Structure 1
């Protein structure tokens, strides 16, 4: 995927994902034009024979029999063309949205957390949807613009070279107008997308901070700010629509003038004023009516292309915003690496590990070196900015170091570098419990099976018991089928945290990563979580980020970090000894906010 790819090139390349539907749409449009030739012949023949030739009714049998089926077939072909175009657009949108979500998953939650959620949702939904008009309407129409006018010219030219010349001379007026409109349309569409993103972020921030705004008495002022942002978006949207409608009006004008010129020529021929543009056969009623019936269809593809031209500008603006994510380079590992499954508990060795955030001069981790023994619980402490969360992101594979590395030792096998293990294999061996537990909209069983989709109901019940949720579960009205999340049963912070622990039990992972698992909990909930943590850590290697002295007592060793470096690593008793770094009372005041 070329990094210097333009939005137009990306749109063209992506069109191949729905190429079969585009081909079917173009074939249906072409066939409908051929059927129109049959309709025009039937109508012109009936008029010529009835009005001019005075032929009897029997000579009209063939055109009269062909005309009704031609109308029906053409209607079906037009409908089929519309359906195929829409299906093609839907298939491409689904493919792009799937690729976008997969790319976000590859970039990982560490990257996603640094993006505004409203902006991400706007890209995944609104901007991907903005591609529909281009693939369903504009692109098939652009292909038909090279086919339908050519078919009509081939039909008209043998009858009157002057009529064909008028069509050829006036046809380019419509594309020229589209080009002029397109210059400003794309810029306005880009401005509208930016304004939509800004309004989405503003509105989401207001909703999330509504309690604070109410308490400080500025909610009405903020409502006015939201109104101002939405009004600005409305004005930009109206400018885009005004441009689209005005361009359609101009296209209709040029098409009408072109058809009028053709009709004027035919009229002067019939009046005997013009004697050019015809062959030896002249121009009778059949020829004139046949040409006039086909003339609107000659311009119709160009008019439709002009109507859908704003869809091209909208799609290019959307593509320009989507491409930075889709083309973003990520850390790549060899996809041919063999599958990895540890046979025993794992130990980790971090040697010279350094990591840096983009745009930051100082490293978040600076030459971090230590060993984490198998089945050991290591507590990590330090002030905000010490590098604790960065360490977890590296261990989870969401952030890649710029120097040093991590090696894994399990059983009697030789150590393996983390980069030699496929990310999926490694992350399957990790159980994660953070400060904020995600409760998805679904049943309790659905929420638990996020950790192990093959877990049986008995395994779910056992995990709930291990996480001290048996009493809470017994009170649920529908057991494992009780709905949680939006529209379902509410759960407290302590219950949510223990649901996360139940997931960790179901995971059956070798490495457990815990980020402030008792933060913001009351004393009773904290005690339950701590008891569950003690059971969870049995037979597993655990890394625990905490500021709670009670949790430090569970750890085998404590790692103290400061400014991305290892300050001390020893048992809690040794660190609290008279000469240890935690000996003084002030030194035990470990900050309560986690590293961000």
Structure 2
């Protein structure tokens, strides 16, 4: 099928409209503040007409009509009152627009966070954390500028110039015609500039996200880079990435400055045309009226002429905020695969359940004809696997590396969707998973444990730490469980980090424990103690443990053997 020549343009325009609708939805929680900001900015523009009229009347009365100053006092007081009210309206506009911007930025971060949760940890492992972090930082700032800058001015540019044009037309129709016929030059040029600004902004945000991802990855692997003597080479790579951001940023600024200069030129020429017309009229070189306009009318028109273009100039200045917001939306869509919608739409789908198994005496877990494929893999590592897990049963997953033990645990945890078949869980079954590489945050060991139960007592915390054999090494640390560890468990061995992950799981107290090599890197005595205390903690609960350890296999009461190449003939065997 042939593609029309303008298909790309139509698709781009449709995507832009979709992203604008999405941007508009981010401020949905602050509709009242949006309306308040629009009302205040329009009311301020309307009072500007009264301000110009008061100034023009004072000049006409004092300098031309030679009225006493006492007669001008009410007008002067009214002018001061208008100035005070307009200042208050300006403050109210900024405050309301700031509230809307804060709400939109918070909505963006909530939606992005929920979408990341919905994608799951396996998807996140394939992403660059620096790029994901920029979704919460630079992209959120772009959204904030869009709501705090562009949105209020967009309302102002529709209402205020129209009111000014009507007021000027009442005073002098020629000036009104000059304003009306020169005004379209500004939005037309803005439209042309906006296309280039959006493309430049998107390239700049993309370059910034890539630099952040590159830098974050190198920071995490700094020790390895130094070990292999790659420090200087990677420093050059970071420098090149930063140079790319600088070039993109300068391109955005160049477009902004050039477009602002051109727009100021058009506005200045238009105001000069008004001044030229009035000057020639007062000199008697031009006569388009039955009588020459008074000085007061001339001043009134000259005061309002720049203000007629002021909203257009402000819109032009903030038009780049719109372009940056659209670029941010495009980057969010690129990194997440789609634009994240509201909380309801972002709720992760529940695990599928088969109706006939939803009965009181059904096993907690039933697996039927299951085939699994790790993310990014080209073939299934588990094929046509069926088994069930009874309450209180201990199942040891046994098999060579690559047979799919970790993949099966991830699927049981709900992280990996099956290629075919089903995993059916009993309603209300709480699952806990302790992987080979538990993520540990920068903070104390106790803080990392309390992620599972923030309200846990010190005694309960110490009990699970004893059960998971954490106290074997924590007791020798300077501050015990209050000892601070680095991000990703820096300062701990792999076995120590796994024991902290296991203790965290025990603190959560799930009904189904999924353990991936929990006894790896342990000496026989520590392994025996861990299995003994784990048996006490897991009494009455189901346990699935992936292991290569003979002691762990003997500890389990059921052995599920997986074979490399698909586990098509996996079977349950008594331990």
Same-fold status (TM-score > 0.5): yes
Q: Indicate yes or no: 2:398 matched with 1:381.
A: yes
Q: CA deviation at 1:348?
A: 2.4
> Hey, what does 1:78 align to over in structure 2?
90
> Hey, what does 1:565 align to over in structure 2?
567
Which secondary structure state, in structure 1, belongs to the residue aligned with residue 137 of structure 2?
helix
Q: CA deviation at 1:459?
A: 2.6
Q: Indicate yes or no: 2:168 matched with 1:156.
A: yes
Contact between 1:93 and 1:131, CA under 8 Å: does it hold in 2? yes
CA distance in 2, matches of 1:22, 1:170: 30
Q: Indicate yes or no: 2:374 matched with 1:372.
A: no
Which secondary structure state, in structure 2, belongs to the residue aligned with residue 157 of structure 1?
helix
Q: Pick from 307, 310, 313: which aligns with 2:317?
A: 307
Alignment CA distance shift 1:508-1:342 (3 Å):
farther
> Hey, what does 1:499 align to over in structure 2?
500
CA distance in 2, matches of 1:318, 1:481: 41
Which secondary structure state, in structure 2, belongs to the residue aligned with residue 406 of structure 1?
strand
Q: Indicate yes or no: 2:523 matched with 1:512.
A: no
CA distance in 2, matches of 1:558, 1:308: 66
TM-score, with structure 2 as normaliser: 0.87
CA distance in 2, matches of 1:568, 1:489: 38
Q: Indicate yes or no: 2:406 matched with 1:362.
A: no
Q: Indicate yes or no: 2:104 matched with 1:111.
A: no
> Hey, what does 1:579 align to over in structure 2?
none
Structure 2: gaps spanning 5 or more residues: 1-13
Q: CA deviation at 1:209?
A: 2.6
> Hey, what does 1:218 align to over in structure 2?
230
TM-score, with structure 1 as normaliser: 0.84
CA distance in 1, matches of 2:322, 2:500: 48
Which secondary structure state, in structure 1, belongs to the residue aligned with residue 395 of structure 2?
strand
Contact between 1:345 and 1:540, CA under 8 Å: does it hold in 2? no
CA distance in 2, matches of 1:260, 1:434: 73
Alignment map for 1:344-363 (pairs within 5 Å): 347-356=364-373, 361-363=378-380
Q: Pick from 386, 396, 405: which aligns with 2:422?
A: 405
> Hey, what does 1:540 align to over in structure 2?
541
Contact between 2:440 and 2:488, CA under 8 Å: does it hold in 1? no
Deviation string for 1:550-575 (max 9, x for gaps)?
322322232222233244435576xx
Alignment map for 1:318-357 (pairs within 5 Å): 318-323=328-333, 324-327=337-340, 332-333=349-350, 347-356=364-373
CA distance in 2, matches of 1:48, 1:514: 88
Q: Pick from 202, 205, 217: which aligns with 1:193?
A: 205
Alignment CA distance shift 1:76-1:186 (3 Å):
same
> Hey, what does 1:433 align to over in structure 2?
434
Alignment CA distance shift 1:313-1:361 (3 Å):
same
CA distance in 2, matches of 1:525, 1:201: 39
Q: CA deviation at 1:458?
A: 3.6
Alignment map for 1:450-469 (pairs within 5 Å): 450-469=451-470
Q: Pick from 125, 143, 162: which aligns with 2:137?
A: 125
Structure 1: gaps spanning 5 or more residues: 409-415, 574-596
Alignment map for 1:46-85 (pairs within 5 Å): 46-85=58-97
Q: CA deviation at 1:451?
A: 1.6
Which secondary structure state, in structure 1, belongs to the residue aligned with residue 456 of structure 2?
coil
Q: CA deviation at 1:444?
A: 4.9
CA distance in 1, matches of 2:523, 2:249: 49
Deviation string for 1:504-562 (max 9, x for gaps)?
22222111011122344566765554444343333321111122333223222322222
Q: Number of aligned pairs?
A: 552
CA distance in 2, matches of 1:348, 1:335: 12
Which secondary structure state, in structure 1, belongs to the residue aligned with residue 233 of structure 2?
helix
Alignment CA distance shift 1:191-1:304 (3 Å):
same
Q: Pick from 255, 268, 276: which aligns with 1:264?
A: 276
Deviation string for 1:1-28 (max 9, x for gaps)?
xx97732332234343433222211111
CA distance in 1, matches of 2:348, 2:457: 36
Q: CA deviation at 1:174?
A: 1.0
Alignment map for 1:483-494 (pairs within 5 Å): 485=486, 493-494=494-495
Deviation string for 1:102-124 (max 9, x for gaps)?
12112211222222222211223
For structure 1, which segment, 121-130 or 57-66, has the greater mean C-alpha deviation from structure 2 after superposition?
Answer: 121-130
Contact between 1:501 and 1:532, CA under 8 Å: does it hold in 2? no
Which secondary structure state, in structure 2, belongs to the residue aligned with residue 18 of structure 1?
helix
For structure 1, which segment, 341-350 or 259-268, has the greater mean C-alpha deviation from structure 2 after superposition?
Answer: 341-350
Alignment CA distance shift 1:266-1:524 (3 Å):
farther
Contact between 1:345 and 1:374, CA under 8 Å: does it hold in 2? no
Contact between 2:432 and 2:512, CA under 8 Å: does it hold in 1? yes
CA distance in 2, matches of 1:488, 1:543: 25
CA distance in 2, matches of 1:311, 1:399: 39
Q: CA deviation at 1:165?
A: 0.6
Contact between 2:489 and 2:497, CA under 8 Å: does it hold in 1? no
Contact between 2:51 and 2:83, CA under 8 Å: does it hold in 1? yes
Contact between 2:122 and 2:416, CA under 8 Å: does it hold in 1? yes
Q: CA deviation at 1:42?
A: 2.0
Q: Indicate yes or no: 2:301 matched with 1:291.
A: yes
CA distance in 2, matches of 1:140, 1:439: 44
CA distance in 2, matches of 1:93, 1:260: 42
Q: CA deviation at 1:441?
A: 4.2
Q: What is the aligned-residue RMSD (CA, Å)?
A: 3.3
For structure 1, which segment, 119-128 or 82-91, has the greater mean C-alpha deviation from structure 2 after superposition?
Answer: 119-128
Q: Pick from 103, 108, 112: which aligns with 1:96?
A: 108
